[in-house]
């Protein structure tokens, strides 16, 4: 059956959020060249279908206290399932079997091996980059090619790496070892401590990792010495 124009536009709106992460109605209207009234109709339909959910946006410490921000629309688990074919159930069953037969240590070993593989392949993109900003952007480009719809931008005293999509979110929700190993791999790859602020697996609309710049670490160290 051929899709109607409204159906195609709704898919376009949903795809924009899947690939670009949570967004406001105003941002989507501008990006997709849809009227404010039109984007509202499509967003209302997608929310009613359970593809999207409206929620307050994630705010870093420096953004808080600036008034009530506009609602953002984020992809739900149901929405992600409609846009991708995955083997999540099989993966969860396999990891549960591993944990039952050999204990949680084997799951952790698997998570570390997966993260090491990601770091090894990502190192080809990151190597040669001098600054944390360039490394973070290179990592974001690599992760996007892997299906994570990632981007990086300066935030306060460092860089914020955002993964707007997670192909293994359902699995990671039950096995947080996957997220923990991935965070450790990012730290080793970038050569600095990083902090995971939010994850899709735990209900947030985006996986957010803060990467401090060397200057911010030096300021923190000097500040402690002056006390």
User: Which pLDDT belongs to residue 68?
Assistant: 63
Reported as a single tens digit per residue, the pLDDT across 45-94 is 999 999 999 988 765 555 555 556 688 998 887 887 776 545 567 788 88
Stronger pLDDT, 218 or 18, i.e. the higher one: 18
Question: 5-83: which CATH architecture?
Answer: Orthogonal Bundle (1.10)
The CATH code of the domain at 89-222 is: 3.30.1380
- Give the CA angle between residues 154, 170, 195 to the nearest 5°: 30
Token pair 């300066």 is at which residue? 154
pLDDT of residue 83: 66
Question: Which range has the worst mean pLDDT, 73-87, 168-182, 189-203?
Answer: 73-87
Looking at 3-17, 81-95, 165-179, which range is the least confident one?
81-95
pLDDT tens, position by position, 129-155: 999 999 999 999 999 888 888 999 998
Question: Per-domain residue ranges for the chain?
Answer: 5-83, 89-222
Q: Which stretch, 17-26, 188-197, 206-215, has highest mean pLDDT?
A: 188-197
68-72, 93-97, 171-175, 219-223: least confidently modelled range: 219-223
pLDDT at 166 over 70: yes
**Residue 186 has which token pair?**
């990012």
């Amino acid at each position: 059956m051929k899709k109607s124009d409204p159906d195609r536009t709704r898919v376009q709106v949903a795809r924009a959020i899947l690939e670009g992460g949570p967004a406001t109605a105003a941002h989507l209207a501008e990006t997709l060249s849809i009227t404010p009234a039109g984007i509202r109709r499509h967003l209302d339909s997608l929310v009613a279908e359970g593809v999207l959910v409206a929620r307050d946006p994630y705010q870093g410490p420096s953004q808080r206290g600036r008034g009530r921000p506009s609602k953002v629309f984020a992809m739900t688990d149901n929405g992600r399932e409609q846009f991708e074919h995955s083997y999540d159930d099989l993966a969860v069953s396999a990891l549960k079997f591993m944990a039952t037969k050999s204990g949680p240590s084997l799951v952790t070993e698997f998570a570390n091996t997966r993260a090491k593989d990601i770091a090894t392949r990502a190192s080809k993109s990151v190597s040669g980059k001098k600054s944390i900003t360039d490394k973070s952007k290179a990592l974001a480009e690599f992760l996007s090619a892997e299906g994570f719809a990632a981007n990086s931008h300066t935030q306060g005293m460092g860089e914020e790496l955002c993964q707007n999509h997670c192909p293994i979110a359902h699995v990671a929700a039950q096995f947080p070892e996957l997220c923990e190993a991935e965070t450790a791999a990012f730290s080793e790859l970038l050569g600095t401590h990083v902090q995971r602020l939010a994850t899709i697996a735990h209900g947030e609309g985006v996986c957010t990792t803060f990467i401090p710049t060397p200057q911010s670490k030096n300021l923190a160290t000097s500040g402690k010495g002056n006390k």
